[in-house]
Chains A and B, each alone.
Chain A
Amino acid sequence: MTTKKTSGDRLYQVFIYVVLAMLAIVIIVPVAWVFLASVKQNSEFYGNPWTLPASFYWQNFVDAWNAASMGSYMLNSALVTALSLAILLVVALPAAYCLSRFRFRGGRFLNVCFMAGLFINVNYIVVPIFLMMRDWDSWMNYFFGKTIFLNNLFMLAIVYAATALPFTVYLLSGYFATLPHDFEEAAYIDGAGYGQAMIRVIFPMAQPSIITIILFNFLSFWNEYIISMTLMSSSTGQKTLPVGLLNLMQGQQSKAEFGIMYAGLVLVMLPTLILYMCVQKKLTQGMTVGGLKG
Chain B
Amino acid sequence: MHSKGRSRFIVLCVAPAVILFFLFMVLPTVNVFRMSLFERGAYSPTETFVGVNNFKVLFKDAKFIASMQNTILLIVTVTIITFFFAIVFAAILTREKIKGQNFFRIVFYIPNILSVVVIAGIFSAVYKPENGMLNSIFSLFAGREVMVLWKDQPMVIVSIIIAMVWQAIGYYMVMYMASMAAVPADLYESAGLDGAGRVKQFFQLTLPLIWTNIRTTLTFFIISTINMAFLFVKAMVAKGSSDVALSFMYNQKDAGLYGYSMAAGVVIFLFSFLLSALVNKVTARDVLEM
Contacts and interface: CB of A to CB of B under 8 A. Distances in A.
A124 B113 contact: no
A117 B21 contact: yes
Contacts of B192: 1, 3
In this complex, the member of A193, A249, A269 whose beta carbon has the largest number of chain B beta carbons within 10 angstroms is: A269
B74 to A, nearest CB: 15
B5 A194 contact: yes
Interface string B125-152: 1101011110010000000000000000
Interface in A86-141: 90-92, 94-95, 97-99, 102, 104, 110, 113-114, 117, 120-121, 123-132, 135, 138
Contacts of A195: 9
A259 interface: no
Interface in B56-107: 85, 89, 92-93, 96, 98, 103-107
A123 B246 contact: yes
Interface string A233-260: 0000000001101100100100000000
A161 interface: yes
B261 A127 contact: yes
Interface residues of A, number: 94
B164 to A, nearest CB: 12
Interface in A1-35: 1, 3, 12, 16-17, 19-20, 23-24, 26-31, 33-34
Contacts of A95: 13-14, 16-18
B144 to A, nearest CB: 15
Interface in B19-55: 20-21, 23-29, 31-32, 35, 40, 45
Q: For chain A, what secondary structure do more than half of its interface residues adopt (helix, strand, loop), or is it mixed?
A: helix
B125 A34 contact: yes
Contacts of B20: 91, 158, 161-162, 165
Q: For chain B, what secondary structure do more than half of its interface residues adopt (helix, strand, loop), or is it mixed?
A: helix
B209 interface: no
A231 B250 CA distance: 13
Nearest to B124: A249
A264 B170 CA distance: 25
B274 interface: no
B10 A104 contact: yes
Contact of A188 (B1, B10, B98, B125): B1
B31 A265 contact: no
Interface string A139-180: 000000000000000000011011101100100000000000
Contacts of A165: 17, 20-21, 25
A46 B227 CA distance: 35
B214 interface: no
A124 B1 contact: no
The 5 A-B pairs of least Cβ separation, nearest first, read: A223-B115, A95-B17, A94-B13, A162-B24, A128-B28
17 contacts: A19-B92, A31-B114, A31-B122, A34-B121, A45-B131, A49-B128, A91-B16, A94-B14, A117-B26, A126-B250, A127-B32, A163-B25, A165-B20, A193-B5, A222-B115, A265-B121, A284-B109
Given A20-B104, A223-B118, A225-B231, 8 more contacts: A20-B89, A95-B17, A104-B10, A123-B246, A127-B262, A165-B21, A242-B118, A294-B224
